[in-house]
């Protein structure tokens, strides 16, 4: 009599969770790189984007172009971006053009062309979405990408995304692929320009811990200064610091966050649909300041806050129709004022002027302990025609 064959063991079909892979893609010197597509003769030279429309290149009789030089600039404009050659000379975005001229007088000066930047922004994002559709838009020149469910090794996948971006735009980008957004943001900057950085948690001690603590997105100048006062200058030193010490000096929320990020811990999901309602910055003073007795110090702080709000708007890809201020007096009473602009803006000078108008509408007889600036009624930069945006106006501060 025939016997039944031995029954094969049941297969284990339990799905194993995929290892999380998050990429941060950052276009290389984006605005400047777009300009070099239009003016290829400037490749390899220090080029600064900013200033006024009158700084347009002028066609010469022999077919060449005459470009404005930074040394000839006069005004209160700020740098929108700069090529890596200009950055090597100390010129960076949000820096005053007059100060930049002292560092790089022979650098080429080009006015910003925001219609072109929006166009190339749409192109590179569409190219990436054709490969990896789960994208968090972080601004005109950067995105996060969730690669977790794509069946392809990280290195060839990164190369394929970079090539798609280059085919769509002619531009290079840098990509960091790691287990989370925190590390991906850091890693996209490690091998610029045109870089790929792959990192696992095991690579943390060698690649991340030697970096300055300020490389962690969220550790700003003030937090970095406080860490330095505690003798903590690198991410590794932060990771080695007892949690109790961080909690004592930074409080429960910030202290706990510092402990986590130093060890590369970040569970934030990608936000594939997100529209912020406002962007703001504020500063609490070391001592209470008086509007008249401390006018120069207050003015410098106020201008710096406005420029940082402008930088945040540009980085995140928004313009604002409403600018407001917040004051907290020495007695902890607070007051706010805002103003609606005729046209939206992301320009630091216009934000400073509008915030200054708000400041005229509040009592300044008491000492002030906190000053803040807020941009609201936000519109995506890419959706607003250039003629409807107020940018780089030459206004007195």
334 Rama sector, left if φ>0, alpha if ψ -120 to 50, beta otherwise: beta
- Is 152 designated active site? no
Paired tokens of 207 = 């690649």
Q: Point out which residues pair with 135 in neighbouring strands.
A: 145
Q: Which of 142, 225, 244, 394 is catalytic?
A: 142
- In order of 63, 277, 362, 370, the CA distances from 342 in angstroms are 40, 19, 22, 28
Q: Which of 358, 264, 378 is nearest to 312 (CA)?
A: 378
Known catalytic residues are: 142
């Amino acid at each position: 009599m025939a016997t039944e064959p031995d029954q094969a063991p049941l297969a284990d079909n339990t799905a194993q969770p995929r290892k999380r892979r998050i990429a941060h893609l950052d276009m290389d010197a984006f605005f400047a790189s777009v300009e070099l597509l239009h003016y290829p003769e400037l490749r390899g030279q220090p080029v600064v984007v900013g200033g006024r429309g009158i700084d347009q290149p002028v066609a010469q009789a022999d077919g060449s172009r005459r470009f404005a030089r930074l040394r000839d600039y006069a005004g209160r404009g700020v740098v929108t971006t700069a090529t890596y050659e200009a950055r090597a000379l100390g010129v960076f975005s949000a820096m005053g053009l007059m100060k930049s001229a002292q560092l790089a007088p022979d650098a080429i000066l080009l006015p910003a062309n925001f219609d072109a930047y929006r166009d190339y922004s749409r192109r590179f994002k569409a190219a990436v979405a054709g490969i990896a559709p789960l994208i968090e838009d972080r601004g005109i020149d950067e995105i996060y990408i969730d690669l977790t469910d794509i069946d392809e090794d990280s290195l060839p996948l990164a190369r394929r995304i970079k090539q798609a971006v280059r085919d769509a735009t002619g531009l290079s980008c840098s990509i960091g692929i790691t287990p989370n957004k925190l590390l991906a943001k850091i890693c996209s900057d490690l091998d610029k320009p045109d870089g790929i950085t792959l990192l696992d948690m095991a690579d943390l001690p060698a690649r991340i811990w030697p970096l300055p603590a300020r490389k962690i997105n969220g550790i700003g100048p003030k937090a970095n200064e406080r860490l330095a006062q505690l003798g903590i200058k690198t991410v590794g030193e932060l990771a080695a610091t007892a949690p109790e010490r961080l909690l004592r000096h930074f409080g429960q929320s910030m202290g706990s966050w510092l402990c986590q990020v130093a060890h590369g811990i970040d569970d934030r999901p990608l936000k594939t649909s997100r529209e912020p309602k406002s962007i703001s910055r504020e500063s609490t003073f070391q001592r209470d300041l008086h509007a008249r007795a401390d006018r120069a110090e207050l003015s410098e702080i106020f201008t710096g806050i406005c420029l940082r709000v402008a930088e945040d708007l540009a980085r995140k890809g928004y313009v604002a129709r409403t600018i407001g201020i917040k004051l907290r007096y020495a007695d902890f009473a607070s007051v706010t004022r805002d103003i609606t602009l005729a046209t939206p803006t992301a320009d630091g000078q216009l934000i400073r002027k509008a915030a200054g108008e708000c400041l005229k509408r509040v009592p300044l007889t008491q000492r002030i302990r906190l000053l803040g600036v807020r941009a609201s009624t936000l519109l995506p930069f890419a959706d607003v025609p250039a003629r409807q945006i107020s940018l780089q106006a030459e206004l007195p501060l």
